[in-house]
């Protein structure tokens, strides 16, 4: 490109040699894909969720963003062979789907090491499995591999059993007739037996020997909310009323930073809602497994960490840890040296003491190998309580979820069914419905209040209700929300009923409602265009979205000033 730019200034001279050089350079540039490179660059960066970071210095990127940038560089090299080691790490679902489509479209050969089973099913045609220090080849992706391996192991186990029976009969014959009239025959059988190639029993994954018990719950509703705005100083998402039924399996899915963990922390009581409140059923016991597992400090041993979770002596702690596959001297290992899977098992062992009937897990499959993920799936499938979990692992979601909460652009869509059924809906050109945020409610969930139809509660009442979420529930880590986190909009609610009696304020509220609707529609449009890979259009709509948010903020401030004037 630099050579072309240098020659362009000399073309005007009409020198034949210069024109020929320029034509050659242009041919090579075009053949190398130079004219398409910028579009490809924007497509790859946008697909991996880096489209909004073009002006950022690499030194300011997070570890996950740098990993995605490294993956983008490899893909942009357009190699003949791609060697990808855990390429799905740090990718949200939208980026995973984009990467799958990109790899399927490429002609390059790809060799991939991954624990993402859904991804492997989508992009691979052969599977190499390392078994007993031997590489075994299977046809097809992960699901085909799993079935073929199970069939092979079953056949090998049967052959091993048949051979073991035959060897036992031969050895019994040799023992019985080795010194009698048939000793010659016995010696012959002994020689044959010595030459037999023994069939080894297949090495099978360790079956889970641990489980989670759930306390009884009489209510059909475990968790319920009014319309919610969740976040820290400003909302990251808003949703209409939510209900979690007893025995439901709810998966929260969305892009990195969409607000999944923020919503989960709000539901379990770690974070106060900016608007609305959360109520847990009487008798609900909520256990929360954080993504960071901050409660497991590195200076503890496994045994000490277990004992600190409940009143028990060493032997009781050892017995419980054995159910979670920590045996013998393993209980004396420091928590700091445990693998990701071992830390997850230890965290679940601690939670098992709670006998929780609502289990909330944030990215429970992070750092787990395939065997550990399958063990966790089996344990959670057998769990008789209610489950809410955040995950990017679509295979894990598909196995466990009965309901999806899909978070995008500050909105929440709800789908009844697992991941496969949702994909069929998307393939048909449809999407899950949005749970519309229609304002605060004045009654407790289930109390007959109509969201958005009654006047807002006063600020002090609303803040009190926010801190009263889950009355009668036993939260794993409940905290009272700090007053300084309360959004200014909540304080404005203190005079909402008086403001609505003023016609000028009514007009302001109508403008705010119209602008909020416009913002929601634009938010959905941003999400749709971002998935298409059209970075330029995404950026244009994003700028329009930001301008609309600024205008809405100004309207909120004008509404607040009107409230102050009316008060005076």
Question: Which class is domain 33-117?
Answer: alpha beta
Q: pLDDT by residue (tens digit) across 517-552?
A: 777 677 666 556 555 555 456 556 666 776 777 787
Report pLDDT for 392.
93
Q: pLDDT by residue (tens digit) across 235-283?
A: 999 999 999 999 999 999 998 888 999 999 999 999 999 999 899 888 8
Q: pLDDT by residue (tens digit) across 62-118?
A: 888 899 999 999 998 888 999 999 999 888 898 999 999 999 988 899 999 999 999
* Residue 373 and residue 382 in contact, taking contact as beta carbons nearer than 8 Å: no
Report pLDDT for 544.
76
More reliable by pLDDT, 474 or 286: 286
* pLDDT above 50 for 450: no
> Whole-angstrom distance between the N-terminal and C-terminal Cα of the chain?
67
Report pLDDT for 499.
36
Q: pLDDT by residue (tens digit) across 384-428?
A: 999 999 999 999 999 999 999 999 989 999 999 999 999 999 989
- Give the contacts of 503 (CB within 8 A, at least 6 positions apart): none
Rg (CA), the chain: 31
| Pairing mode of beta strands 285-289, 358-362 | parallel
Report pLDDT for 18.
65
* pLDDT above 80 for 500: no
Sign of the torsion formed by the C-alpha atoms of 258, 261, 267 and 269: negative
pLDDT band at 30 (very low <50, low <70, confident <90, very high): low
Rounded-to-integer distance, Cα 523 and Cα 536, Å: 16
For the chain, the helix, strand and coil percentages under 3-state DSSP, each to the nearest 5: 50, 15, 35
Report pLDDT for 227.
93
Report pLDDT for 160.
92
Q: Which of 217-221, 300-304, 326-330, 554-558 has the lowest mean pLDDT?
A: 554-558
* pLDDT above 90 for 511: no
- Retrieve residue 77's tokens: 């090299």
Report pLDDT for 29.
61
pLDDT band at 459 (very low <50, low <70, confident <90, very high): very low
CATH fold for the domain made of 221-296+355-475: Rossmann fold (3.40.50)
Report pLDDT for 8.
60
β-sheet bridge partners, residue 359: 287, 387
Q: Cα 171–176–178 angle (5° rounding)?
A: 85
pLDDT band at 54 (very low <50, low <70, confident <90, very high): confident
459: helix, strand or coil: helix
Rounded-to-integer distance, Cα 85 and Cα 107, Å: 19
pLDDT band at 466 (very low <50, low <70, confident <90, very high): very low
Q: pLDDT by residue (tens digit) across 184-206?
A: 888 898 999 999 999 888 876 55
Q: Which of 341-350, 439-448, 461-470 has the lowest mean pLDDT?
A: 461-470
Q: pLDDT by residue (tens digit) across 149-169?
A: 989 889 999 999 999 999 999
Percent of the chain with pLDDT over 70: 73
* pLDDT above 80 for 173: yes
Q: pLDDT by residue (tens digit) across 299-316?
A: 889 998 898 888 788 898
């Amino acid at each position: 490109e630099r050579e072309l730019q240098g020659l362009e200034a000399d073309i005007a001279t009409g020198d034949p040699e210069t024109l020929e050089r320029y034509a050659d350079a242009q041919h090579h540039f075009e053949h190398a894909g130079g004219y398409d490179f910028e579009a490809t660059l924007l497509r790859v960066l946008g697909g991996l969720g880096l489209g909004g970071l073009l002006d950022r210095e690499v030194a300011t990127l997070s570890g996950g963003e740098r990993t995605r940038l490294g993956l983008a560089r490899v893909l942009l090299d357009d190699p003949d062979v791609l060697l990808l080691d855990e390429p799905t790490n740090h990718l949200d679902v939208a980026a995973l789907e984009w990467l799958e489509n990109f790899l399927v479209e490429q002609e390059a050969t790809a060799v991939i090491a991954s624990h993402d089973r859904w991804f492997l099913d989508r992009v691979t045609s052969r599977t190499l499995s390392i078994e007993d220090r031997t590489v075994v080849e299977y046809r097809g992706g992960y699901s085909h591999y799993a079935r073929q391996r199970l069939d092979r192991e079953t056949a090998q186990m049967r052959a091993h059993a048949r051979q073991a029976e035959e060897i036992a009969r031969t050895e019994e014959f040799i023992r019985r007739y080795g010194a009698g009239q048939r000793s010659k025959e016995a010696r012959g059988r002994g020689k044959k037996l010595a030459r037999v190639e023994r069939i080894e029993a297949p090495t099978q994954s360790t079956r889970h020997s641990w489980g989670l018990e759930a306390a009884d719950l009489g209510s059909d509703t475990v968790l319920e909310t009014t319309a919610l705005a969740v976040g820290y100083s400003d909302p990251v998402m808003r949703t209409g009323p939510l209900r979690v039924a007893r025995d439901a399996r709810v998966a929260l899915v969305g892009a990195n930073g969409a607000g999944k963990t923020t919503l989960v922390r709000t539901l379990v009581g770690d974070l106060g809602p900016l608007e609305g409140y959360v109520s847990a059923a009487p008798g609900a016991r909520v256990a929360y497994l954080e993504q960071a597992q901050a409660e497991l400090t590195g200076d503890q041993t496994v045994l000490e960490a277990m004992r600190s979770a409940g009143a028990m002596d060493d032997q009781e702690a050892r017995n419980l840890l054995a159910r979670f596959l920590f045996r013998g001297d393993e209980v004396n290992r420091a928590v700091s040296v445990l693998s990701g899977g071992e830390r997850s098992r230890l965290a679940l062992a601690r939670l098992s003491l709670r006998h929780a009937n609502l289990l909330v897990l944030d990215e429970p499959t992070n750092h787990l190998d395939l065997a550990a993920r399958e063990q966790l799936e089996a344990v959670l499938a057998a769990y008789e309580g209610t489950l809410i979990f955040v995950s990017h692992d679509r295979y894990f979601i598909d196995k466990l979820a009965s309901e999806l909460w899909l978070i995008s652009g500050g909105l929440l869509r709800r789908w009844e069914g697992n991941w496969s059924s949702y994909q069929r809906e998307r393939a048909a050109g449809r999407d899950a419905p949005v749970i519309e945020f229609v304002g605060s409610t004045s009654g407790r969930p289930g109390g007959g209040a109509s969201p958005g139809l009654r006047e807002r509660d006063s600020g002090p009442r609303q803040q009190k209700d926010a801190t009263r979420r889950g009355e009668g529930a036993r939260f794993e880590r409940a905290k009272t929300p700090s007053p300084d986190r309360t959004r200014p909009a909540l304080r404005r609610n203190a005079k909402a009923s008086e403001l609505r009696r003023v016609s000028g304020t009514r007009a302001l509220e109508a403008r705010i409602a119209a602008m909020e609707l416009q913002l929601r529609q634009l938010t959905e449009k941003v999400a749709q265009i971002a998935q298409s890979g059209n970075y330029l259009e995404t950026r244009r709509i994003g700028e329009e979205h930001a301008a609309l948010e600024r205008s809405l903020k100004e309207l909120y401030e004008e509404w607040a000033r009107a409230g102050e004037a009316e008060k005076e």
